[in-house]
Chains A and B, each alone.
Chain A
Amino acid sequence: DQQVKQNSPSLSVQEGRISILNCDYTNSMFDYFLWYKKYPAEGPTFLISISSIKDKNEDGRFTVFLNKSAKHLSLHIVPSQPGDSAVYFCAASEGGNQFYFGTGTSLTVIP
């Protein structure tokens, strides 16, 4: 049973606009959440993270929001750039040893 879910397999956004990627989880004991970005034929690379004691973390164009009551997190990219086109995975961990990944959302930024 999938503990981390990304219900949108794909998303298309115009260059310069905001991209919002969503992720839901079921385990209330998760204490750390991460977003990874993956290009074809490469491994995932870390993008941004947030601990469960926070509700927002920002790094440049990337912001992650955490809503613990809804068990939901989102990644905002603004402004979106063509180089942001990739597959984005959210991941969650309880205690830092086992990580559970979502199924990924393929983002296409249209020039």
Chain B
Amino acid sequence: NAGVTQTPKFQVLKTGQSMTLQCAQDMNHEYMSWYRQDPGMGLRLIHYSVGAGITDQGEVPNGYNVSRSTTEDFPLRLLSAAPSQTSVYFCASSLAGGPIQYFGAGTRLSVL
């Protein structure tokens, strides 16, 4: 039982490069979300999705794009990476209406 799988685990980018952080879950959860964790800031919601084809913005959406074409996958795209996006990124999923989220192990991203 894989749960929530995030790839890659580590990534270093140069300013201006683009990349996609992958997130997949095998629990048939309708709700998926992306967070970033920064020192002294806790986890902040970037984007979330309540089902395939439906996405919405969280607290800190600027600089990030998402799409949800399948129930299983919820990729996070950085179109032009900036040093301020250096962070640890977590993907999470939950049942619709269920508040308990299951998190992936995280992606540590450094933007130089």
Mutual binders A and B: yes
- Which A residues contact B (CB, under 8 angstroms)? 2, 4, 6, 32, 34, 36, 41-46, 49, 89, 91, 93, 96-104
How many residues on the B side are at the interface (Cβ–Cβ under 8 A)?
Answer: 27
Supply 14 A–B pairs (Cβ within 8 Å), ascending by A: A32-B99, A41-B105, A43-B105, A44-B90, A44-B103, A49-B100, A97-B50, A98-B45, A99-B45, A99-B99, A99-B101, A100-B45, A102-B42, A103-B41
Question: Are A46 and B100 closer than 8 Å at their CB atoms?
Answer: yes
Q: Point out which of B33, B43, B106 has the most chain A C-beta atoms below 10 A from its C-beta.
A: B43
Q: Which residues 28-58 of B have a CB within 8 angstroms of A?
A: 31, 33, 35, 40-45, 48, 50, 56, 58
Chain B positions within 8 Å of A100 at CB level: 45, 59
CB-based nearest B residue for A4: B42
CB-based nearest B residue for A47: B100
Question: Are A49 and B99 closer than 8 Å at their CB atoms?
Answer: yes
Q: Is the CB of B24 closer than 8 A to any CB of chain A?
A: no
Q: Is the CB of B102 closer than 8 A to any CB of chain A?
A: yes
* B8 shortest CB reach to chain A, Å: 14
CB-based nearest B residue for A6: B42
- Which B residues contact A (CB, under 8 angstroms)? 4, 31, 33, 35, 40-45, 48, 50, 56, 58-59, 90, 92, 97-106
Chain B positions within 8 Å of A96 at CB level: 97-99
8 cross-chain pairs, A with B, having the tightest CB-CB distances, nearest first: A43-B103, A101-B43, A103-B42, A101-B42, A46-B100, A32-B99, A44-B103, A43-B105
A69 to B99, CA, bound (A): 23
A104 to B40, CA, bound (A): 8
Given contacts A41-B105, A99-B99, A101-B35, 15 further A-B contacts (CB under 8 A): A34-B100, A41-B106, A43-B90, A43-B92, A44-B103, A46-B100, A46-B101, A91-B43, A93-B99, A96-B98, A97-B31, A98-B45, A98-B48, A103-B41, A103-B42
Chain B positions within 8 Å of A104 at CB level: 42
